[in-house]
Amino acid sequence: MAEAGAVAALEGVEVDYPGRGRALGPIDFSLAAGEIVALVGPSGCGKSTALRLLAGLEPPTRGQVRRAAGRGETAVVFQSPTLAPWLSAAANVALPLELAGVGGGEARTRAAEALRRVGLAGAEQARPAQLSGGMAMRASLARALVTSPKVLLLDEPFAALDEITRRQLADDVLALWAAERPAIVFVTHNVEEAVYMAGRVVVMTPGPGRIAGELPVEGPAPRPPGFRTTEAFRHTAEQLSELLRSGMEAGR
Amino acid sequence: MRRALLIAAPIVFVAIILAAWELACRALAVPAYFLPTPSAIVLALVDNAPLLFVSAWRTLSSALMAFAITGVLASLAALGAASARVAEASFRPIAILLQVTPIIALAPLFQIWAGIDHPDHAVVALACVAAFFPMYSGALAGLGAVDPELERLFDLYGATGWQRLSRLKLPSAVPQALEGFKVGLGLALVGAVIGEMEASGGGQEGLAWRILEASHRMEIARSFAAVAALALMAGVLHAAFQALERRLIRWWRGR
């Protein structure tokens, strides 16, 4: 059940898709203000569906979705950067503000500031096609952060990037989180990434996705250098792998 | 080296065909009223250049006028169809009928509707009908070609209908609409020529009339010259639009 003070919660939620049957649930999930939760599970377990429910982009078939965040206070970063090719990086980042009615000048100023925070100062006029995969993802992140959201939903945002870039971006996301502390839900199927990013990891069973269990991750955030080599990290990752495995078997 | 070969190859190929044509006509003594030699056609082209130029402009301006009119109408129809499924369903049979009916079958009717006083209206109208379908379906396909995740983003931030149209659908439509407009431009020229043929003069002395007039007088070289002028004009028009399209797409894509 949802605790008081949750910024978003799923209560007894089930999602059925016509022709595909049950995709998710029943599932109970609650997101507290300022926490980072990783949703881990095999492909097709309904992680992305859960994220869309939390974003309010899709209604559940049964159960309730509670969202404390208002319009513009929830941001989503998709697996692909999803930038409009005909707009400059700055115009892409300014888009959420302009859709909310913020004036052009102020929107551009705030967009430039958001780009600077993700390390893209100077790339304001670049088009998405001129950005590398990692840079485009940063621009997408800047667009999500430009409205200072209370809830940030990340749907396998680094899946298409190389290892070095994804590690760098993981640290950047944690640093950005430290500045404004939005609640983050991070969907991934990478165990190490989940442990590195999150303070709490929720494991899901194969479709229809249910919660197989959850695991707290000890340690400071943002992560100190060498965190991946610590005993605690390795141990948690092992435990998580075990949980995933038993979840897979239970799902059969 | 390879590049030079690829550029030279079609030129050489055409030159071989023309040379064979020239030699065959001379060797077999084919009468000029049946099949003139390429050199005679070039001569006719040069001799009639001023007249052909005026006629070409007449045809071209009809086609361009139709292209502009149809551009507006097809875009409006596509916008309507994209915003309401019932509108799309209503337009579909007519759009398809316009597409599958040979334009030449409509020409006499249009000539009657335009009357003796305005044969030019029939020419432009036929060109409009010929160009409509590809322009409409290109614009409609473009309006439907929205990145679904980008659309979700607009949902997330509660975009209004107008914001969705002006900031998402219209810009997304650009590449496919341009493709449809390119086909439409070529067909507008086809429609204009058919309209001129049906008008048989009547003040509509475009290139089609020059072809008919020369054929009736058995001046086959002049007829060929008018055909060559028409083909040349169509080619230049296509290349010009292609260049414009490429520039616009490069701007749209950002590289």
If one compares A5 and A121, the residue with the highest pLDDT of the two is: A121
To the nearest whole number, what is the mean pLDDT of chain A? 87
SS3 A43: coil
pLDDT (0 to 100) of residue B201: 62
Is the model's pLDDT at B204 over the cut of 80? no
- Parallel, antiparallel or unpaired: strands A151-155 and A74-77: parallel
Question: Which of A173-177, B96-100, B230-234 is modeled with the greatest confidence?
Answer: B230-234
Chain B residues inside the 8 Å CB shell of A100: 157-158
Four-CA torsion B213, B107, B186, B168, nearest 10 degrees: 160
CB contact under 8 A, B147 and A75: no
Tell me the C-alpha distance between A25 and A22, whole Å: 8
Nearest Cα to Cα of residue A152 among A31, A41, A10, A59 = A31
Tell me the C-alpha distance between A118 and A105, whole Å: 20
What are A40-83's pLDDT values in tens digits? 888 778 888 889 899 988 899 998 898 887 777 899 999 889 99
The minimum CA-CA distance between A236 and chain B, rounded to whole Å, is 34
**A40 forms bridges with which residues in the sheet?**
A188, A203
Tell me the C-alpha distance between B82 and A16, whole Å: 29
CB contact under 8 A, B255 and A129: yes
Cα A139 to its chain centre, rounded Å, is 15
Interface test with chain A among B156, B166, B176, B247, by most A beta carbons within 10 Å: B156
Interface test with chain A among B157, B251, B252, B255, by most A beta carbons within 10 Å: B157
Residue among B155, B171, B255 minimizing CB distance to A57: B155
What are B133-153's pLDDT values in tens digits? 999 999 999 999 999 999 999
pLDDT (0 to 100) of residue A1: 40
The minimum CA-CA distance between B149 and chain A, rounded to whole Å, is 6
B166 to chain A: nearest residue by CA?
A: A99
Q: Which pair of tokens denotes residue B28?
A: 């077999």
**A22 forms bridges with which residues in the sheet?**
A16
Q: Which pair of tokens denotes residue B95?
A: 């759009």
pLDDT (0 to 100) of residue A95: 94
Give residue for tokens 């990783």: A38
Q: What is the ipTM of this complex?
A: 0.86
What are B36-92's pLDDT values in tens digits? 999 999 999 999 999 999 999 999 999 999 999 999 999 999 999 998 889 999 999
A91 to chain B: nearest residue by CA?
A: B167
- DSSP 8-state symbol, A209: B
| Percent of chain B residues past pLDDT 70, beyond the cut | 98
Nearest Cα to Cα of residue B227 among B89, B69, B41, B10 = B41
Stretch A144-157: mean pLDDT: 91
Stretch A214-243: mean pLDDT: 87
The minimum CA-CA distance between A119 and chain B, rounded to whole Å, is 21
If one compares A129 and A220, the residue with the highest pLDDT of the two is: A129
Is the model's pLDDT at A2 over the cut of 50? no
